[in-house]
Structure 1
């Protein structure tokens, strides 16, 4: 497997916490989804990112229903001096290392790493983030931003992101919505939350 060479990793800022969502539902050369995702956590460490904590591991139904096997999802809290843009570049490099090819929106994933939030950072600006948050569902299936959108524009809608996020930072406040992660979880439909199943016996190595 090729070594990771990340673009822009020399871009530095003040040390910040960031929260990354991990997901996969397809096997890779590394192994089954959980093995691939655990390897990706190690990749972060190997690139000098401090992995502070990890959420529980969850199983999530594939969307749309019947489109593929269930997903493995979890989140990690990291600490880094990299800029948000450099962190995103690093995540894309790790995805590529494990066979991710960005073609079809909402298709099965060998690996999916999403930068959910980085302290209270808003990128590129509040107006653009709000526009992507307000994007109709019909457009979400075909459109993807070409630049970093931070916070992730869909975290408030996605139980598979919010529930692991709440394990790590329930009091983090969305800079545009003014709601904590726990408040956003509480606002989700009960049916969405009930589909996210914690998996016993799986613990993400963080040391």
Structure 2
């Protein structure tokens, strides 16, 4: 049976907007994964080491029959195909794909934490998530809208309204 998962996308290297658009297409073409909805495309201030270019960010809702770690494997294979290099924590990257929610599950493993451990403090994740799931309630009962109201949209700019963005 398919479950809904939410995947955050980010890029700040090599035409980030096109990296994300290709990533959505790649996700949708994977076996056992269907993109159900895609947020607007946002530009955000970088988090991490100084001197980085701005990021492009989005969120997709996917329906999948894959187990959580299999979905993670599929997403990491897409990152690798896009030239993702993991050398500096929170450093610049061609593509970052994070599972932020998987159904109503709470997962704590060596490779995967769901809900994503940083999502509550990242408006560049929460605001695009609100685009695709405005009535979402997290597994602990917290309403997504409440978290967005608390963090706001500071440092975010919508650069495209609907997918495909260009």
Q: TM-score, normalised by structure 1?
A: 0.74
Which deviations, in whole Å up to 9, do the C-alpha atoms of 1:23-44 show, x marking residues without a partner?
Answer: 10011xxxx1111111111111
- Taking the aligned partners of 1:67 and 1:179, their CA distance within structure 2 comes to 35
Moved more, 178-187 or 90-99: 178-187
What SS does structure 2 have at the residue aligned with 1:74?
strand
Contact residue 60 and residue 195 of structure 1 kept, 8 A: yes
Which structure has the greater CA radius of gyration? 1
In structure 1, the residue matched to 2:159 is 199
CA RMSD after TM alignment: 1.7
- Taking the aligned partners of 1:117 and 1:170, their CA distance within structure 2 comes to 14
Q: Any unmatched runs of 5+ in structure 1?
A: 1-13, 129-145
Which deviations, in whole Å up to 9, do the C-alpha atoms of 1:88-145 show, x marking residues without a partner?
Answer: 1111110000000112101011111111101111113xxx7xxxxxxxxxxxxxxxxx
Instruction: For residue 47 of structure 1, report the CA deviation from its aligned partner.
Output: 1.1
Query: Which has the larger share of strand?
Result: 2
Does residue 156 of structure 1 match 2:120? yes
Does residue 179 of structure 1 match 2:142? yes
